[in-house]
Amino acid sequence: MLLDVNALEAGYGKIGVLHHVEMGVAAGEVVALLGHNGAGKTTLLRAISGLLPWGSGDVVFAGHSLKGSGPRESARAGLVHVIEGHRVFTQQTVADNLLLAAYDLPRGERSARIEEALAFFPEIAAKRHDRGGSLSGGQQQMLAVAQGLVRRPRLLMLDEPSAGLSPVLVDRVLAVVSQLRAEGTAILLVEQLVEKVLAVADRVYALAQGRVVLSARCDEPDLRSRLESAYFGSTIARD
């Protein structure tokens, strides 16, 4: 496994959000993370990338524990987290937004990496001198994903890249996910749109109340009904 999460416990202050989470992502696969608002998906991503310090358990990426490291160290190791809500820097141009993502890279490589990332999104490449704030929500989301790609991640974590986007744009973003997988990048995807995600993912985890309640391959035949019951209760694991 490229990423291994073992018995992870995390939360905000006194509020425990994640309870004994076990999951993993292999190199080159697309894994979807599903669950309700408040189930702990975003918290899990933040804990993995080091944005949220966690308590006990362990996160191992490419053979090294990420305990105590922040997002900067994770990104250097090749684990990039694109946070929810397409939070690009609205006062700065598209090119500058990407340049910021390349902050840690050697000076000479920056522009090549930016062009590489922009190649995935011709629609924002055309607007490279526009300010981030002037982009539409969908374009901002593409920019946010492009920021992640500048680092040439081995594992890219996307938190709800489809939120607030029109169906066409959602397909556009998910198409890039497929494209990345074809090039060997592993992806951990948090999504609400179950059907669309299942179409691009290899495996799926469902979270409820901070616990993994379902882990399955996407080609298992009864997956949909198992998901439905995971969402509507009755089979939610209780202890």
Partner 1 sequence: MSNASQTLTTNLSSWPVRRAAWTTFLPFLILFGLAALLPLTGNEYWGLIATRAAIYWMLVSGLSLIVGFAGQLAIGYVALLTLGAYTTSVLAAGNVLPPLPTLVALGIASAAGAVFGVIVGLPALRLRTFYFAMTTLGFATIVTQVALAWQGVTGGGIGITGPEMPAPFNTAWGFFYLCLGIAALCTWGASNIAHSRVGRSLIAIRDAEVAAEASGISKARLLVVVFMFAGALAAMAGGLFASLQTYITPDAFTFELSLLFFIAVLIGGRGSILGPLIGTVVLTILPEIAAPLAAWSTFLYAFLLLVIVLAMPGGIAALLDFESRKPLAFDRAVRPNPHVLGELFHGQRDGRSIVLRDVVLSFGGVRAIDGVNLEIRPGQIHGLIGPNGSGKTTTLNVISGYYAPEKGDVTLGSPLDPAAAVTRAGRGIARTFQTPRIVGEASVLDNVMIGGSIDGRATFLEALLSLPRHREDERRIEADALLALRAVGLEALAHVRADRLQHSELRFIEIARALVLRPSFLLLDEPAAGLSGVEIDHLGRLIVEIGRQGTGVLLVEHHADLIFSICDDVTVLNLGRVLAAGTPAEIRLHKEVVSAYLGG
Partner 2 sequence: MLASILASGVAVGAIYALIGIAYNTMFSTSRVMSFTAGQLGMLGGVFGSLFVLRLGLPPIAGFVAMLACCALIGVITEFVAVRPVLKSLDQHLYVLSTLALALMIQQVTAIKWSTEPQPFPRLFELGSGMLDEKFWVPVIACLLTIIGLELLYRKTLVGRAFLAIAEDNFAARALGLPERNLRIASYALAGAIGGLAGFAGGQLLLAFFANGPLLNFYGFVPVALGGLGNNRGAVIGGLALGVFQQAANFLVGGIFSSVAVFCIFIIVLLLAPQGLFGSHVARRV
Least CB distance to partner 1 at residue 191 (A): 8
232 touches 224 (CB < 8 A): no
Q: Which is nearer to partner 1, 13 or 63 (CB)?
A: 13
Dihedral, 154, 42, 70, 48 alpha carbons, nearest 10: -50
Per the listing, tokens 């608002």 go with 37
* Closest distance of CB 3 from partner 2, Å: 17
Q: Which of residues 111-130 bind partner 2 (CB under 8 A)?
A: none
Between 78 and 85, CB nearer to partner 1: 85
Interaction site with partner 1 (CB under 8 A):
14-17, 36-39, 160, 163-164, 191-197, 209, 224, 227-228, 231-234, 236, 238-239
- The string over 162-190, giving b where at least 16 C-beta atoms fall within 10 Å of a residue's C-beta and e elsewhere, is bbebeeebbebbbebbeebbeeebbbbbb
Which of partner 2, partner 1, none lies near 151, with the C-beta cut-off 5 to 8 A by kind?
partner 2
- Number of residues that make up the chain: 239
Q: How far apart are CA 239 and CA 222, in angstroms?
A: 25
C-beta closer to partner 2: residue 103 or 112 = 103
Q: Toward partner 1, which CB reaches closer, 12 or 103? A: 12
202 binds partner 2 (CB under 8 A): no
> Cβ of residue 72: shortest distance to partner 2, in angstroms?
4
Is the Cβ of residue 112 or residue 175 nearer to partner 1 in the bound state? 175
215 with 205: CB under 8 angstroms?
yes
Contacts 24+ apart (CB under 8 A), 127-130: 127/94, 128/93, 128/94, 128/95, 129/93, 129/94, 129/95, 130/93, 130/94
Task: Name the residue with tokens 């749109």.
Answer: 193
Residues 49-108 that bind partner 2 (CB under 8 A): 49, 51, 70-72, 74-76, 80-83, 87-92, 96, 99-101, 103-104
Residue 129: CA count within 13 A, CB half-sphere:
0
What does the binding site for partner 2 look like in residue numbers (CB under 8 A)?
Answer: 49, 51, 70-72, 74-76, 80-83, 87-92, 96, 99-101, 103-104, 147, 151
